[in-house]
Structure 1
Amino acid sequence: MAEILPIRPWRYNDGLHLNIEELTSPLFDVVSAKQRQHLYQNKLNSIHLSVPQGEQPALHAAALLQTWKQEQVLLQDPLPGIYVYYQYFRLPGSSKTYCRKGFICHIKAYDWSEQVLLRHESTMPGSVNDRIELLEQTQLNSSPTHGLYTDPDFILEPYLDEAIRSPLYETEDYQGVRDVLAVIHDRNVIKLFVNTLQARQVLLADGHHRYAGSLAYRKAMAEQNEANHTGMEAYNYHLMYLTNTEADDLRILPTHRVLQHLDMPDEEFLQKLDTYFTVTPKSDPYELNEVITGKPWAFGLYLSGNSYKLRLKPEVLPQITWDLPQEVKELDLTVLHFFVFEKILGISREEQRTYEPLTYVRNFTACISQVDAGNARLALITNEVTIEQVKRVCYSGAIMPQKSTFFYPKVISGFLFSSIKEDEFVSATAACL
C-alpha cells in the first residue's frame, strides 16, 4: 500500500559546532508570534526556512537556503537512511514518562481517492496555498508531517531501539519534551522498513496542510511533465514521521472551544441548551475537565464566570442532519458543533470553519482565564478523541470537525530538511533500493 523511501537529508554542519537546541523551532501552525520574534533573532534558526519573513517570504527562504548550502551551514548527509525519532514527555498531573517512538522517511504523496493515505480533518485553503508556494520555491520539506501505521506485531521497534542508542542529537524543546534523533543506514534493515509499510495504509495524524501542499505540488508537476512523468520523480514524495498506532505512548489531547461573543443573554442561551442537554451547575470551573472525563457527549461550559456540566440527551442524537457516517455523528465534537453552534447559535457547518469569534485553545486553564479576563464570553471544555475513533473516521472516508485532534507532543523543525530537487533526491533512492 504505502510506498516509503529512505532520505538523504540536509542537516546543520556538525563542524560549525552549533548548538542544535538553539536551531530548532516549533511547527509553522503552532509557533506563537512571541516565539517567532525570539527565534528570528538567531540568523541560523530553522524558523527562517519554515516560517520565513518578508514581503515575499517563499522567495526569501529559497535564497537563504541556497546561501546556507553554499556557505556549508547545511550539508547533505552522504548516505541515505531511515531517521529514528523518539520523544520523551510527561503529561500534566502525572509523573509517568512516555516515549513516542517513530521514524522519518519519504512517502509518496498519494491522492486521498487512492485510499492509501487517509485523513481525518479538512484543510483551510489559505494555509495550503502558503505551503505550496514555499515548497515550489525551496523544493524543501522543512519539517515532517505525522503519519500513523498499524503494526500489532511491533516488527520495526527492535531496530528503532537499537539505533536510538547512538543519537545524532538529543535536546529539550519548547514543550519540555526530550527529542532524540538517530539514523539507520543498514541496507537490509531499510528494506525491512520499506516492505513492512508496503502492506499498510497510513493515517495522517498531523500536518494536513503541509501534506495537501505536497499533493497539490505533485499534481501540478505531473501535469507539467505529463509526457515523461513516471511517478518516481522527486516531486512525488513527501517527508513524514511515522508512528505505530498500537503503541501505548501515542497521546491525543483535547482542543477546547472559546467564543468571544454571544448574541443573546446568558439566560436565553442556557434555556436553549436545555432543549438538547442536561445542564448541571458546578461550583468550581477548574473541575470542569474532570467531571466530563470518560463520559460520551459531555462538555464543560464556563459562561460569564459561571460553570456548568452539559450532557447530551441521548434521544436527540438522531436529530443530527449533517450527511455524515454514523461513526462521525457519534463524536463528541460533532455533537457540540451541530447542537451548540448550528442549532442554538445559528452558525452553519461551513461558516464554523472560518468563524472568527470562535477560537481553539488547548490549555484548559487558559480557557477559564480568557473568560475571567473578559476576553471571551464562554468556553466549552471537551474530552480527548481516542485513537480508535480516529481510525474509525479515517476508514469511513469521512472527516472530523475542524481542530478535533491534537497529537502530543508536536514534532519539531530543524533536526533535518528533506530536498525534492531531482539531483539531491535520486541518489538517495538509487543507492539503497
Structure 2
Amino acid sequence: MRIYPFRALRYNTAKVKLSDVVTQPYDKISPAMQDAYYAQSPYNLIRVILGKRNPADTDADNVYTRAAKSLQDWRREAVLVEEREPALYGYAQKYTVPGTSEVRERRGLICLGHLYDYAEQVVYRHEQTLAKPKSDRLSLFKTTRTYCEQIYMLYSDPSFTVEKLVFGNTTGEAATPADETVTDEYGVVHSVWRVTDPHILNLIVGALSDKKLIIADGHHRYETSTAYARERAAELGLPDTTRQSGKSEKQVGDSDESPSNDADMTVGPPLPVPAFPEAAMMMTLVNTDAPGITILPTHRIVYGLKDFSSAAFLDKAAEFFEVSKVEAKSAAAGSDAEGVEAASERVAPLAATKGVAFLAVMKDGTFLLQGKPAAIEAALQHVAPRQRPMDVVQLHALVLEQLLELTPESIRQQENLRYLRSAEDAAAQVARGEADIAFLIKPVTLDQMKEVSLGGEVMPQKSTDFYPKLLSGLAFYALD
C-alpha cells in the first residue's frame, strides 16, 4: 500500500473550539444530531458533510454548492488553515466499550492512501454497498473537491512498527503529549499527534509499503473515489493509477501538484506524493494486531411488507430454526447513545446461545430463532462455504431473501430494509407500527471479517459496525 504525507487543512483553534465544529461521520448523524450540530457553531462541519436541503433548491443553489461555499468562506476567514509542511497524524481514541465498563484505546494513522482497483488485491472490501450513498457522496465530492472525513482501513503488523514510530510505544501513554484532544458526545476522547520529520515520515511510508488493507468503514466513499480517480486520469490524459501498471506517484516539487501535497523541501529525503490529487484519498489506518478494535452488530428492520403475518413467518422459520418466545426488555427508545448502552440488555438472550441465532421482534412478541445446522446447510448451498456459518449471512440469504422474499436488488436499494445500531430503537419502530419485524443479531468477529475479505468475498451490506467512529473534521484533504 502506498501512503502519502500531506499538507492538511485544519481547524484554527484560535478562532473556534474544536468540540463545537467536529462531528460524527455523515452516515451516523440523525436528524436530531444534525440540528444540534447546526446550533453549536456556524463553522460546524455539518454544513459541509450533511447540510440541510431546502424545497427551493436549484442547480445553482443546493446542498452541495452551499457546502463548497462554506469551505471557501472558512478558508478565506482563516477558520480553516493549511499546514506549512507535509505531515502524517497519529490518532488515538480512548473509549468505554458499550454496555460494559471496559476502557480501550484504538490507535491509528491519518494519511493519504493510494486508490487501487479491487482487482489489484491491495485494498479489499468486506461487505456489499448500497446505491444511494454513492451518488450523494460523489456529488458532494465533485462540488467541494475536499475530503473532510477519513475512511477507516485495517492492516496487519505484529511488530507494531508504525505505533512505535508515531507514539513511541505500543500501549499506554504516548511518549509525547497530543497536539489536540477533544471529547465527543459519546464520551470518546480523540487525540491527534502531528508527525513532520521527513526521516520518520519516510520510515512510516516504507513500513506500510507491503501491507494489504481491508476497508472497515467507508466502502461507498472508497468506491466513489476510485471511480473518480479513473475519470480524472482520463480527463488529464494520464495512465490509470488505480492499476499497478499506471504511474502512481511523483516527488515533491514536480509540477501540477495539489496545494495539500506540495511543499518547499530543501533538506531531507524527498517525500512521495500522488501522481495527481485525485489519485489518493484521506484514510485512517489501524493495525488489527493491536488492541482496541470493537465491532458492534447492525440490526435489520423490515417494513412495508404486503399482508405480513407474524404467525405465518414463524411457521416458515420453523423449518430452519428452533423458535421460542422470550421476555424482552420493554423501554422507550432514547438517544442514540442510550440505545447503544441498552443494546446488550435487549439482546441478552443471544449471549446465552451458541451457533447462529437471531431475535425477531414483532408486534405480538419477541422470538429467539436458533439455527438448525443441517437444514440451513442444505438451504445455503449457493453461499460460499466460509460464509454459511455466519449469522448475518444466514439472516440475509435465508430469512430476508427466502422466507420474506426480499430480492437482492430491493435490499441493495433499501426498499423494505433499514439498518440500526440501537436494538432499543429497532424494537421501538416495531412497537410504533413503523416496521413489520426487527431482527437483532450478534456482531461479526474480526477474524470472520478478515477471512471473508482476504478470501476475495463480500458479506451483506452493513455487516459490521466498528465502534467508535472516526471523528470528522480533525483534518481535511483539499484537492485545490
TM-score when scaled to structure 2? 0.83
String of CA shifts for 1:178-222, please: whole Å, max 9, x gaps.
111111112222112111111110000001111122111101101
Which position in structure 2 is the counterpart of 1:29? 27
Does residue 167 of structure 2 align to residue 161 of structure 1? Answer: yes
Structure with the bigger percentage of helix: 1
Does residue 289 of structure 2 align to residue 246 of structure 1? Answer: yes
Alpha-carbon offset, residue 342 of structure 1: 1.6
Does residue 425 of structure 2 align to residue 351 of structure 1? Answer: no
Summarize the alignment of residues 167-206 of structure 1 with structure 2, pairs less than 5 Å apart: 167-206=178-217
Q: For the Cα contact (< 8 Å) 1:288–1:300, is it kept in 2?
A: no
User: Measured at CA, do residues 283 and 296 of structure 1 come closer, stay the same or move farther in structure 2, by a change above 3 Å?
Assistant: same
1:373 and 1:94 map into 2 onto residues whose CA distance is 29
String of CA shifts for 1:54-100, please: whole Å, max 9, x gaps.
53222222222222222212110112111111111112332221101
1:107 and 1:30 map into 2 onto residues whose CA distance is 23
Q: For the Cα contact (< 8 Å) 2:132–2:413, is it kept in 1?
A: no
> 2:149 aligns to what SS in structure 1?
coil
1:362 and 1:301 map into 2 onto residues whose CA distance is 15
> 2:186 aligns to what SS in structure 1?
coil
String of CA shifts for 1:200-259, please: whole Å, max 9, x gaps.
100000011111221111011011112577431111011000101112210110011122
Which position in structure 1 is the counterpart of 2:450? 391
1:403 and 1:164 map into 2 onto residues whose CA distance is 37
Does residue 456 of structure 2 align to residue 362 of structure 1? Answer: no
Which position in structure 1 is the counterpart of 2:276? 233
Alpha-carbon offset, residue 164 of structure 1: 6.8
Does residue 321 of structure 2 align to residue 277 of structure 1? Answer: yes
Alpha-carbon offset, residue 128 of structure 1: 1.2
Alpha-carbon offset, residue 307 of structure 1: 2.2
Q: For the Cα contact (< 8 Å) 1:288–1:301, is it kept in 2?
A: no
> 1:215 aligns to what SS in structure 2?
helix
Which position in structure 2 is the counterpart of 1:3? 2
User: Residue 193 of structure 2 aligns to which amino acid in structure 1?
Assistant: A
- Structure 1, 282-291 or 355-364: larger mean CA deviation: 282-291
1:125 and 1:376 map into 2 onto residues whose CA distance is 22
| Structure 1 unmatched ranges of 5 or more | 422-433
Which position in structure 1 is the counterpart of 2:257? none
1:8 and 1:295 map into 2 onto residues whose CA distance is 50
User: Residue 341 of structure 1 aligns to which amino acid in structure 2?
Assistant: L
User: Residue 25 of structure 1 aligns to which amino acid in structure 2?
Assistant: T
User: Measured at CA, do residues 258 and 125 of structure 1 come closer, stay the same or move farther in structure 2, by a change above 3 Å?
Assistant: closer
Alpha-carbon offset, residue 320 of structure 1: 4.0
Alpha-carbon offset, residue 300 of structure 1: 1.4
Runs of 4+ in 1 over 6 A off after TM superposition: none
Does residue 235 of structure 2 align to residue 224 of structure 1? Answer: yes
Which position in structure 2 is the counterpart of 1:311? 370
Alpha-carbon offset, residue 261 of structure 1: 4.4
* Percent identity of paired positions between Structure 1 and Structure 2: 31
Which position in structure 2 is the counterpart of 1:291? 349
> 1:64 aligns to what SS in structure 2?
helix
Q: For the Cα contact (< 8 Å) 2:150–2:282, is it kept in 1?
A: yes
| Structure 2 unmatched ranges of 5 or more | 169-173, 241-246, 249-274, 331-344
Summarize the alignment of residues 8-157 of structure 1 with structure 2, pairs less than 5 Å apart: 8-16=7-15, 18-41=16-39, 42-54=41-53, 55=57, 56-157=62-163
Q: For the Cα contact (< 8 Å) 1:281–1:308, is it kept in 2?
A: yes
RMSD over aligned CA atoms reads 2.0
Does residue 427 of structure 2 align to residue 377 of structure 1? Answer: no
Q: For the Cα contact (< 8 Å) 2:326–2:367, is it kept in 1?
A: yes
> What count of residue pairs does the alignment treat as equivalent?
419
- Structure 1, 112-121 or 84-93: larger mean CA deviation: 84-93
Alpha-carbon offset, residue 376 of structure 1: 2.7
User: Residue 189 of structure 1 aligns to which amino acid in structure 2?
Assistant: I
User: Residue 20 of structure 2 aligns to which amino acid in structure 1?
Assistant: E
User: Measured at CA, do residues 235 and 356 of structure 1 come closer, stay the same or move farther in structure 2, by a change above 3 Å?
Assistant: same
Does residue 311 of structure 2 align to residue 267 of structure 1? Answer: yes
- Structure 1, 117-126 or 97-106: larger mean CA deviation: 117-126
User: Residue 356 of structure 2 aligns to which amino acid in structure 1?
Assistant: W
Which position in structure 2 is the counterpart of 1:325? 384
